[in-house]
């Protein structure tokens, strides 16, 4: 057992940290307010290899592994959670296409996702009435000549307005999870249009939209993996995605805790810094402990994925623990900041808004607990 980072992991971490501190953090409040991530930030992520951290060099990826991906996600999320989720979904989509696309599809999309040409990848699984239960989806794909025609509506699509490629799940067979297939669909496919943009509590810099498929035609090669094998692909992608979201939550909490520690040392009440009060010290001790536990759970899941071992239960543990701990930590940080924490002058209220979704997307906490207990009670 050796929990030290490798040289390569440290390099990725420090490159992401430098970029996040210089280019992203100073603009994070504007990204949140203007509801837009500047193009040069996406370019910067791509040029650092952060759009394909765990993808092979041959497909344009950084091939740095899953632990490195976790480290980079944390650094980006510490500066801006909206930018981080764009990165997370792009990496996940790149990995799905690389793992399940045929050679042509892989070469068509993955290198251009990694180098930023496609702006971002997007993951289209959820529907208005099928979130935690994707087996209930109603979007369909039917064979038509040499290809497929997709019809239906998708919801909660991260990066919907600017993603260059979508992985879309649609029903190709029987009701339930065994009749679903996955497809790689370029944003310019005929019959695909972007719907209403959601007005959200947090992650306001990252557009979340509906997608409409109206006779959207894709070639046979768009099918990822086996016909009707889409549910398994979604579950595998989400296992990995949960490592990304756990890391995002950790990054947000790290930002909030750092700010709370600084503020506690500065701010005086009753003639002494807040940091001298045990009430405040206790919040910081619990935050630091839970944060370290979340980091270790996430790194363990990342390490298992990197070794190609089973990691579903571990990823679920990382996701549920990290997202819930991060939310508690952001709330404690706001409490320590008092009224200032509640204002937009400081980033604390943004952290608290941004972190809340980590308990919902890529499997709600309740889904993680089902995954964990099902594995244990088998």
Partner 1 sequence: MNFELTEEQALVQQMARDFATKEVAPLARELDREGRWPTELVRRMGELGLMGVAVPTEHGGAGADAVSYALAMEEIARACASTAVIMSVNNSLFCDPLLKFGTEEQKREFLAPAASGDKLGCFGLTEPASGSDASHMATFAEKDGDHWILEGSKNWITNGPHADFILVFAAHDRHAGSKGTTAFLVPEGHPGFLPQPRDHKLGIHAAHSCTVFFERCRVPKAWQVGEPGMGFKIAMATLDGGRIGIAAQALGIARAALEESIAYSKERKAFGEPIANKQAIQFMIADMATELDAARLLTLRAAAMKDRGVRHTQQSAMAKLMASEVATRVAHKNIQIHGGYGYSVEYDAERHYRDARITEIYEGTSEIQRIVISATALKG
Q: What residues are annotated to the active site?
A: 362
Of residues 292, 310, 338, 345, which one binds partner 1 by CB under 8 A? Answer: 292
Of residues 105, 299, 312, 323, which one binds partner 1 by CB under 8 A? Answer: 299
Which residues have C-beta within 8 Å of that of residue 374, sequence separation ≥ 6?
Answer: none
Tell me if 285 contacts partner 1 by CB under 8 A. yes
Report whether 162 contacts 119 (CB < 8 A).
Answer: yes
CB of 67 to partner 1, least distance (A): 5
Of residues 293, 346, 360, 364, which one binds partner 1 by CB under 8 A? Answer: 293
Of residues 11, 25, 130, 261, which one binds partner 1 by CB under 8 A? Answer: 261
Q: How distant, in Å, are the alpha carbons of 61, 95, 185, 241, 339 from that of 123?
A: 19, 11, 10, 11, 38
Tell me if 275 contacts partner 1 by CB under 8 A. yes
Q: Which residues, 58 to 117, sit near partner 1 by CB under 8 A?
A: 67
Q: What angle do CA 141, 111, 307 make, to 5 degrees?
A: 90
- CB nearer to partner 1: pick between 65 and 205: 65
Q: How distant, in Å, are the alpha carbons of 30, 52, 280, 331, 336 from that of 17?
A: 19, 17, 28, 24, 26
- What are the tokens at 227? 């016909």
Report whether 157 contacts 210 (CB < 8 A).
Answer: yes
The stretch among 29-37, 133-141, 286-294, 345-353 that binds partner 1 (CB under 8 A) is: 286-294
Tell me if 296 contacts partner 1 by CB under 8 A. yes
- CB nearer to partner 1: pick between 196 and 288: 288
**Torsions phi, psi of 198, nearest 5?**
-75, 145
- The whole-angstrom distance between residue 283's C-alpha and the CA centroid of its chain comes to 27
CB of 320 to partner 1, least distance (A): 6
Of residues 17, 212, 328, 369, which one binds partner 1 by CB under 8 A? Answer: 369
Please enumerate, as own/partner, the contacts of 129-132 that have beta carbons within 8 Å and a separation of 24 or more: 131/155, 131/156, 131/364, 132/363, 132/364, 132/366, 132/367
Tell me if 370 contacts partner 1 by CB under 8 A. yes
- What are the tokens at 30? 């504007």
Of residues 214, 220, 282, 345, which one binds partner 1 by CB under 8 A? Answer: 282
Q: How distant, in Å, are the alpha carbons of 109, 166, 289, 318, 349 from that of 95?
A: 11, 13, 32, 20, 33
DSSP letters for 38-91: -HHHHHHHHHTTTTSTTS-GGGT-----HHHHHHHHHHHHHH-HHHHHHHHHHH
The stretch among 18-26, 53-61, 174-182, 312-320 that binds partner 1 (CB under 8 A) is: 312-320
- CB nearer to partner 1: pick between 80 and 318: 318
Report whether 63 contacts 57 (CB < 8 A).
Answer: yes
Tell me if 10 contacts partner 1 by CB under 8 A. no
- CB nearer to partner 1: pick between 89 and 358: 358
Q: Which residues, 154 to 183, sit near partner 1 by CB under 8 A?
A: none
CB of 358 to partner 1, least distance (A): 15
Tell me if 376 contacts partner 1 by CB under 8 A. yes
- CB nearer to partner 1: pick between 4 and 103: 4
- CB nearer to partner 1: pick between 212 and 328: 328
CB of 64 to partner 1, least distance (A): 12
CA distance 322 to 352: 14
- Max intra-chain CA distance, the chain: 79
- Footprint of partner 1 (CB under 8 A): 1-6, 9, 67, 261, 264-265, 275, 278, 281-282, 284-286, 288-290, 292-294, 296-297, 299-300, 303-304, 314, 317, 320-321, 366, 368-370, 372-374, 376-377
């Amino acid at each position: 057992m050796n929990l030290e980072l490798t040289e390569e992991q440290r390099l990725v971490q420090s490159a992401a940290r430098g970029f996040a501190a210089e280019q992203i953090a100073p603009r994070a409040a504007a990204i949140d307010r203007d509801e837009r991530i500047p193009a040069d930030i996406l370019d910067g992520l791509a040029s650092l290899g952060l759009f394909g951290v765990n993808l092979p060099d041959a497909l344009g990826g950084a091939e740095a592994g899953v632990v490195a991906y976790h480290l980079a996600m944390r650094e980006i999320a510490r500066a801006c959670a909206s930018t981080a989720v764009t990165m997370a979904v792009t990496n996940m989509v790149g990995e799905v296409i690389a793992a399940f696309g045929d050679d042509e599809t892989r070469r068509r999309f993955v290198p251009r996702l990694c180098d930023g040409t496609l702006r971002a990848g997007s993951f289209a699984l959820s529907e208005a009435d099928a979130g935690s239960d994707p087996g209930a989806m109603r979007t369909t794909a039917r064979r038509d000549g040499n290809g497929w025609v997709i019809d239906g509506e998708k919801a909660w699509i991260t990066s919907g307005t600017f993603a260059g490629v979508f992985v879309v799940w649609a029903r190709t067979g029987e009701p339930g999870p065994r009749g679903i297939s996955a497809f790689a669909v370029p944003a310019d496919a005929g019959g695909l249009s972007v719907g209403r943009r959601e007005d959200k509590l947090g992650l306001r810099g990252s557009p979340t939209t509906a997608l409409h498929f109206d006779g959207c035609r894709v070639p046979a090669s768009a099918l990822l993996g086996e016909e009707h094998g889409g549910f398994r692909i979604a579950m595998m992608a989400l296992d990995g995605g949960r490592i990304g979201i756990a890391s995002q939550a950790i990054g947000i909490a790290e930002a909030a805790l750092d700010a709370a520690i600084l503020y506690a040392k500065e701010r005086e009440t009753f003639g002494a810094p807040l940091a001298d009060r045990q009430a405040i010290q206790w919040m910081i001790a619990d935050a630091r402990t839970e944060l370290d536990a979340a980091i270790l759970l996430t790194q363990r899941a990342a390490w298992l994925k990197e070794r190609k071992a089973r990691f579903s239960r571990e990823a679920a543990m990382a996701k549920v623990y990290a997202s819930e701990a991060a939310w508690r930590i952001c709330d404690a940080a706001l409490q320590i900041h008092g009224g200032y924490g509640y204002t937009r002058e400081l980033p604390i209220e943004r952290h608290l808004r941004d972190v809340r979704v980590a308990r919902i997307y890529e499997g709600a906490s309740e889904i993680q607990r089902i995954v964990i207990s099902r594995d244990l009670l088998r």
